[in-house]
Amino acid sequence: MNTLTQTQSDGSTADYYELPFDACELQDLISYKDMNAQLGEIFRAAYRYGQAGHSDKLRDAKKIKYYIEAEIERLETYAVETKKVLPEAFARG
């Protein structure tokens, strides 16, 4: 598992956009970035947006919305449980 740290960008291409050396497919990036299930589903749906025969753009967009709402709820619940205060700009959506 990769240990990710927050970095500041100077406006040029940041190192967090660089692909890992051995990444061959989308799942490699999901694992490298240590994405949870919700983020993995969002990433996959956004990447294939409208290209999969079983999922048109509207279905993909709804899937992204569903999983981002689940992730927001998870983060808000975590913030309350750990008594962390969310920035006001994000608190009301």
Q: What share of the chain is helix, strand, coil (3-state, %, to 5)?
A: 55, 0, 45
Q: Would you say 4 and 18 are in contact if contact means Cβ atoms under 8 Å apart?
A: no
In this predicted structure, what is the pLDDT of residue 82? 81
Residues 60-81 have a mean pLDDT of 93
The domains of the chain are located at: 24-91
In this predicted structure, what is the pLDDT of residue 1? 46
**Alpha carbon 83 to its chain's center:** 23
In this predicted structure, what is the pLDDT of residue 28? 94
The SS3 call for residue 44 is helix
The pTM (predicted TM-score) of the whole model is: 0.71
